[in-house]
Structure 1
């Protein structure tokens, strides 16, 4: 199948797109990849939607803004993809399927008292009608309803990507997005994956709150600051880090108030050190014989030189820290590729989440597929 995959992260920066030829088990070929920045009106709407979602009580009716945001997300994906496929000389008819994550506005991990809750907004019917192709979406809901964490979902793709590169297990892949998540592919092929802690999300929020831009470009602010060891120790003392994986996070689970008394530079330095320390702690859940020789880093955080340097120092003698690009992987497109891969698995009824990745009792299928309306029919 030739599939166009999409990912929009919690940074609300861009629509990432990647073309993959795959049967959901192995990767046959890579097509073009790219991104289109979110339009400001869409970004503003999604920021407001996220704020409202965070105060949405369980059992209450869905906030009205969700419907507007779903339509906007569909239109944003259609707008981005139209320019992307034109740029690469493609047509909608070239694709068997689209795999679309949707925009996360809420993620609550399960507790012993209740199942989790996760919301990814997308009007899939509207998108299918606009492009005339089937759309696979809603990849997390079934896992959460079954008691799983609903995240991370990319691990099964990380394993396939490693095989395509001829890498022998054990293998580790780290995504540094709003939240950091790691996949460990063990010698027997078993997957252990979980969110290690915040990555760019907290830093972005601090930088934005202080009117200094949207993110710490290249880690320049952090490099100019000093780590507050007391604040760092208090962050690392939170119960999440002693909770056994699999486990998941929302980018807002750790409040930025913890660094509000610090200068911008010291706050960035402290939060960068927090990301580094939480990734290093992830290795404590591995048997020593399963520790990989390399940690392959994807996502926006790999462009943060200060963060990458810190990871290299923290994991010295354990794993060499390398950018995904050094292996020929497309470091900015891994998650878009992953949702193309998951779309193929959904179409074939193959599992997308596993006991070692989300904590479900057994491997689970997931996702839904909507087809475009017959020619001549419109969708409201």
Structure 2
């Protein structure tokens, strides 16, 4: 393994189940040397149905083999567009997450992806953290610390505490203190609550498309305050972090909005999302100077407005400091892949509740 910077291809398919993101990153596993080009492969309607059908299932259950094979094939097809990548960080497709019980399940074999791509693959990032008693999620926080370090070195932000809020299927935030010596001591992270997943599921269930593009539907609706108040009574919000969620941990919220008209249901889910983030900020050492939003949720104007109206700090897309909010999670798994190669921790007590910093992940050699 060469010293210095490695060009890694990070790949991510989140719980929103819309497609695969891929992004190149140059890193030594600590600092970010630079960002490369990126790409996206959308799932077809049939592919999305296969993945949706396997949600909540574990190895050996019906539909899991098909979902795993689909994940590998989709990632391999997209990876072919990046021949310059020296290795691949492959997250797999999360189907179930139960760290206090059965563990965590990301479908898709990194060994098979290495065979199909002919390149070394780092994968299975979460299992070791869970085995050691951690939540196994979120895993992007150490990368968020590296992003803050990069933005400060580039003169794009001041060296003050900042929060990264990722809005994928589930929401998660990372408190980053740049004054700390590294991610092991400079991060606090946890899942905030449901994000895009219930909104996407609502749209699909009502035949309105795959997502509420731009938040247009929610913007026309009126949130049901009673449903939001009931949602906030869930014991999860009072739990001290670190803590993590399964995609469908708040199925009761989706059930509660079923009787509402389309726009009101969407508006209620948006306000609930913002309220859950506000509840999360109460667990931080102080209110951050700014909150940087990444993930698909930042494209939803109704969500961004709800955050601005609810939070005590400015909410803005991560592009404000020169980062790519669509590709941050993919970049994270490229960065984490290099950390795994170098034997560096990828999670720790303040991010996943593991008892000590965890060097997780598996490495599959290139095979033809």
Of 156, 159, 162, which residue of structure 1 is paired with 2:148? 162
The equivalent of 2:63 in structure 1 is: 65
Of 127, 144, 147, which residue of structure 2 is paired with 1:141? 127
For 1:356, what is the secondary structure of its paired residue? helix
Distance 1:50 1:287 in 2: 35
Distance 2:349 2:192 in 1: 17
Q: Report the TM-score when normalising by structure 1.
A: 0.89
Distance 2:248 2:61 in 1: 19
Change (3 A) 1:81 1:341: same
Of 294, 319, 331, which residue of structure 1 is paired with 2:325? 331
Provide the aligned C-alpha RMSD in A: 1.5
For 2:36, what is the secondary structure of its paired residue? strand
Distance 1:286 1:126 in 2: 41
TM-superposition CA deviations, 1:152-181 (whole Å, max 9, x none): 000000000111010413111000111110
Q: How is 1:90-105 mapped onto 2 (pairs within 5 angstroms)?
A: 91=83, 94-105=84-95
Distance 2:110 2:349 in 1: 28
Alpha-carbon offset, residue 64 of structure 1: 4.9
The equivalent of 1:190 in structure 2 is: 186
The equivalent of 2:358 in structure 1 is: 364
The equivalent of 1:177 in structure 2 is: 168
The equivalent of 1:378 in structure 2 is: none
Distance 2:62 2:221 in 1: 42
Alignment of 1:36 onto 2:41: yes
Alpha-carbon offset, residue 223 of structure 1: 1.0
For 2:55, what is the secondary structure of its paired residue? helix
For 1:165, what is the secondary structure of its paired residue? helix
Q: Does structure 2 retain, via aligned residues, the 8 Å contact 1:225–1:265?
A: yes
Q: How is 1:247-326 mapped onto 2 (pairs within 5 angstroms)?
A: 247-255=243-251, 256-288=254-286, 291-315=287-311, 318-326=312-320
Please list every run of 5 or more consecutive structure 2 residues that lacks an aligned counterpart in the other structure.
1-5
Alignment of 1:24 onto 2:29: yes
Distance 2:102 2:288 in 1: 31
Alpha-carbon offset, residue 348 of structure 1: 0.7
TM-superposition CA deviations, 1:28-55 (whole Å, max 9, x none): 111101211123333222122115x1xx
Alpha-carbon offset, residue 67 of structure 1: 2.6
For 1:174, what is the secondary structure of its paired residue? strand
Alpha-carbon offset, residue 371 of structure 1: 0.8
Distance 1:21 1:145 in 2: 30
The equivalent of 1:228 in structure 2 is: 224
Number of aligned residue pairs: 351
Q: Report the TM-score when normalising by structure 2.
A: 0.92
Distance 2:136 2:160 in 1: 25
Of 47, 51, 56, which residue of structure 1 is paired with 2:52? 47
Q: Does structure 1 retain, via aligned residues, the 8 Å contact 2:291–2:316?
A: yes
Q: Does structure 1 retain, via aligned residues, the 8 Å contact 2:223–2:265?
A: yes
Alpha-carbon offset, residue 116 of structure 1: 5.3
The equivalent of 2:19 in structure 1 is: 14
Detail structure 1 runs of 4+ shifted over 3 Å in the superposition. none
Please list every run of 5 or more consecutive structure 1 residues that lacks an aligned counterpart in the other structure.
86-90, 376-380
Alpha-carbon offset, residue 10 of structure 1: 1.2
